[in-house]
Amino acid sequence: MAVSSEQAQRFREFRMPDVGEGLTEAEILKWFVGVGDTVADGQVVCEVETAKAAVELPIPFDGVVREIRFAEGTTVDVGTPIIVVDAGEQAGGAAAPAAAGPAVVPDAVPAVPAVEAAPAEEKPAARTAVLVGYGVAPSTTTRRPRKPQVPAPAAPVQPATEVPPVQAPVEPAAPQAPAQPAAPEDGRDGASPMVYSRPLAKPPVRKLAKELGIDLATVAPTGPNGVVTREDIRAAAAPPAQLPPVLEPAPQGREREVRVPVKGVRKATAQAMVASAFTAPHVTEFVTFDITRTMKLVQELRADPAFAGVKVSPLLLVAKALLVAIRRNPEINAAWDEANQEIVHKSYVNLGIAAATPRGLIVPNIKDAQDKTLPELAAALGELVGTAREGRTAPNAMQGGTVTITNVGVFGIDTGTPILNRGESAILAFGAVKLQPWVHKGKVKPRQVTTLALSFDHRLVDGELGSKVLGDVAAILEQPKRLLTWA
């Protein structure tokens, strides 16, 4: 049947964008809209996870959602349509009449049922789109009122040019439930003052609630317009909710193995580590030394007004020491160009910090770290770690690194042999700081002692150069006044 140009323009497909450089697929983590909801240009409709980060996707046009092509947890190739919007519907207008029969969805992918919407809320403050090219547009959480659970009258919907025949889903008839008292305006369920219907919360807050085992519907929201905040989740997470679950032996007859698909950050990390380990010839050197003076300096800096509002940790001074060592030995800050058979020397340092997150290991980096003062470096470290833990690290923050630090000491580990982040020349492992007997000024005394391990690409870095860099870092941390004399 012929499709008019008007119909072709009415039903618009939103395709999975390339949210990183060269990524080919992304997993749909969460849908924030359902069939029948009104969407506006710039409104976030779903959250996806790529091999590098979790990203919110704003839709670039207005209309009413007519079809959701993929369920949560599905991995979708870049360029594949994931949602169909009836652009002919004006914001706030009624949806097109539903046709008899189920919505047309590809056979291999189950359709996502319409999400019951919460009562309309006021529009929140404007947000900045997370994807390059979408610009800044106000988003809205306004949704249509709940629809009664009865079949809608039949009426055919004409398909668009590049869209399969689109039909609105018919919600199955449900038994009439006993009359319930009307919910108060604050969103509370009248039957129970501690239960909230369709709680509103941002993705990082939902993720925190999931990690702590908190049901969002039981949390009293204190944010604007009834939004659940991170503080609300923490307040509700009384012990033992904050404790990790205790693993007990599985009863007889239950499976003893659980298989988890390799995807997202874990898949990308595995591929990068294999490529790095079998491409760059690794060499690791170690040094154990007295870090007592640096630990005292950390305590002094914490009381310094120049560092008010930022976190001062031993990792900060380790990072600064490495930057000074690179300045003294700039040849280590390089990359191997296999295609052109060249060594690329870099005058900038994008300092990577390995961060363990619930989604896996990621390595965001501080751009041009060599130019930052100590307070600026402290602020950048705090922002990097906080963003990583909340799952909000942008893909470009994990690209272009030159050297990396991994702090294995926070896990009580003395040292290790870290694998290079792919494309980088070196990685420094900072071990646990422990009180140990140490010869100091000719006498055995209890001193704070740690071990550093430096792995480097032996194609770029000879043993002499690697030893100089590692020795300089240890010397600075042993006598932190060298941060002044050597810088």
Q: What CATH number should be reported for the domain holding residue 121?
A: 2.40.50.100
Residues 201 and 344 placed together within one structural domain of the fold: no
Residues 167 and 197 placed together within one structural domain of the fold: no
Q: Which domain holds residue 222?
A: 187-243
Neighbours of 186 (CB within 10 A): 11
pLDDT: which is higher, 230 or 186? 230
Distance between alpha carbon 464 and the CA centroid of its chain, in Å? 39
Residues 238 and 134 placed together within one structural domain of the fold: no
36, 67 Cβ separation under 8 angstroms: no
Look at residue 350 in the predicted model and tell me its pLDDT. 97
Residues 385 and 481 placed together within one structural domain of the fold: yes
181 in a domain, yes or no?
A: no
CA distances from 187 to 115, 145, 147, 200, 460 (A): 17, 13, 17, 10, 62
pLDDT: which is higher, 448 or 183? 448
Beta bridge partners, 30, equal 47
Active-site residues, by number, are: 458
Of 153, 175, 197, the one marking the end of a domain is 175
pLDDT: which is higher, 120 or 306? 306
18, 31 Cβ separation under 8 angstroms: no
Residue 52's pLDDT band, with cuts at 50, 70 and 90, is low
Percent of the chain with pLDDT over 70: 71
Work out the average pLDDT over 316-331. 97
Distance between alpha carbon 207 and the CA centroid of its chain, in Å? 10
Look at residue 5 in the predicted model and tell me its pLDDT. 58
Residues 81 and 199 placed together within one structural domain of the fold: no
Residues 99 and 160 placed together within one structural domain of the fold: yes
Residue 206's pLDDT band, with cuts at 50, 70 and 90, is confident
Of 133, 140, 142, 145, which is closest to residue 44 (Cα–Cα)? 140
Percent of the chain with pLDDT over 90: 42
- Ranges 126-135, 143-152, 392-401, most confident: 392-401
User: SS3 string of the chain?
Assistant: CCCCHHHHHHEEEEECCCCCCCCCEEEEEEECCCCCCEECCCCEEEEEECCCCEEEEECCCCEEEEEECCCCCCEEECCCEEEEEECCCCCCCCCCCCCCCCCCCCCCCCCCCCCCCCCCCCCCCCEECCCCCCCEECCCCCCCCCCCCCCCCCCCCCCCCCCCCCCCCCCCCCCCCCCCCCCCCCCECCCCCCCECCCEECHHHHHHHHHHCCCHHHCCCCCHHHEECHHHHHHHCCCCCCCCCCCCCCCCCCCCCCCCCCCHHHHHHHHHHHHHHCCCCEEEEEEEEECHHHHHHHHHHHCCHHHCCCCCCHHHHHHHHHHHHHHHCHHHCEEEECCCCEEEECCCCCEEECEEECCEEECCEECCHHHCCHHHHHHHHHHHHHHHHCCCCCHHHHCCCCEEEEEHHHHCCCCCCCCCCCCCCEEEEECCCEEEEEEECCEEEEEEEEEEEEEEECCCCCHHHHHHHHHHHHHHHHCCCHHHHCC
Residues 171 and 33 placed together within one structural domain of the fold: yes
Residues 120 and 145 placed together within one structural domain of the fold: yes
Of 175, 202, 229, the one marking the end of a domain is 175
Residues 231 and 291 placed together within one structural domain of the fold: no
Look at residue 270 in the predicted model and tell me its pLDDT. 77
The structure tokens listed for 88 are: 């002919």
78, 59 Cβ separation under 8 angstroms: no
CA distance 250 to 239: 24
Average pLDDT, the chain: 77
The structure tokens listed for 348 are: 């900038």
Look at residue 138 in the predicted model and tell me its pLDDT. 42
Residues 125 and 198 placed together within one structural domain of the fold: no
Beta bridge partners, 446, equal 437
Judged against a pLDDT cut of 80, whether residue 275 lies above it is answered with no
Least confident range from 76-85, 178-187, 201-210, 326-335: namely: 178-187
Judged against a pLDDT cut of 50, whether residue 140 lies above it is answered with no
Look at residue 142 in the predicted model and tell me its pLDDT. 44
Least confident range from 5-14, 285-294, 468-477: namely: 5-14
Tally of domains within the chain = 3
pLDDT: which is higher, 192 or 393? 393
- Ranges 10-19, 162-171, 292-301, most confident: 292-301
Look at residue 173 in the predicted model and tell me its pLDDT. 45
Residues 113 and 90 placed together within one structural domain of the fold: yes
pLDDT digits (tens, 9 = 90+) for 219-255: 888 887 788 887 788 777 754 444 444 555 555 667 7
CA distance 335 to 348: 12
Judged against a pLDDT cut of 90, whether residue 444 lies above it is answered with yes
Residue in this structure with the two tokens 């950050």, named with its chain if needed: 265
Residues 310 and 427 placed together within one structural domain of the fold: yes
49 in a domain, yes or no?
A: yes
Q: What CATH number should be reported for the domain holding residue 403?
A: 3.30.559.10
Judged against a pLDDT cut of 50, whether residue 386 lies above it is answered with yes
Look at residue 144 in the predicted model and tell me its pLDDT. 44
Look at residue 343 in the predicted model and tell me its pLDDT. 92
Residue in this structure with the two tokens 């029969």, named with its chain if needed: 101
Q: 122 — alpha (psi -120 to 50), left (phi > 0) or beta?
A: beta
Work out the average pLDDT over 317-343. 95
| Radius of gyration (C-alpha) of the chain in whole angstroms | 28
Work out the average pLDDT over 82-108. 54
Residue 395's pLDDT band, with cuts at 50, 70 and 90, is confident
